Amino acid sequence: MIVLCVPHVVWADDDRLPGPIPARVLRVVDGDTVMVRARIWLGQDVETSVRLAGIDTPEKRGKCDAERAAADQAEAFVAGKLTTDEWVTLRDVIADKYGKRVVARMITAKGEDMAALLIANKLAREYGGRAKQSWCD
C-alpha cells in the first residue's frame, strides 16, 4: 500500500499579491502612474500600468490652471526619480477598480516609497477611496 501525503494548501480569498515583484520602468505616464515590465516568473514579463497606491495627484486635464501646473510638476518629479529601465519593486499589488491597470506600492532602487516621496514634496495627498479634495481651492 502506498500512502501519499499531500500538504493542504490554502489560498486566501484575497486578490492581492504581497510581492516583492521586480519591475523595470518603461515610462512615467503622470504623477501617480508608471508603465512597467514586471517580472512575474522566470522568463515571464508582463507590461502593465501601475497606479501608485494610497495617493491622489493633480490631473493633467484638471479643472483649473493651478491643478494642471501641479500635475506637470508631479509628473516631472516622478520622471526625475525613475529612469527608463530602472528596477523598482512592486508590493501589495491589486487590480484597479476598472481592471485596466494595477494599484501597488512602488519602491525605488534606492529603497524609497514613491507615494511617500510625492506626499513629502506636497505633490500628492493621501487617498483612501473617499471623495477627492479639489486641487483648485
pLDDT in tens, 3-36: 444 444 444 547 888 989 999 999 999 999 999 9
What residues make up the domain containing 21?
A: 16-126
In a domain, 106, yes or no: yes
User: How much of the chain is helix, strand and coil, in % rounded to 5?
Assistant: 20, 35, 45
pLDDT greater than 90 at residue 63: no
137: in domain: no
Contact 21, 39 (CB under 8 A): yes
Q: For residue 108, what is the domain's CATH number?
A: 2.40.50.90
Residue 100 located in a structural domain: yes
Dihedral sign, CA of 55, 112, 29, 80?
positive
Query: DSSP assignment of 52-112, as one string?
Result: ETTEE---TT-SSHHHHHHHHHHHHHHHHH--TT-EEEEEEEEE-TTSSSEEEEEE-TTS-
Q: How many domains does the chain have?
A: 1
Please tell me the pTM assigned to this model.
Answer: 0.84
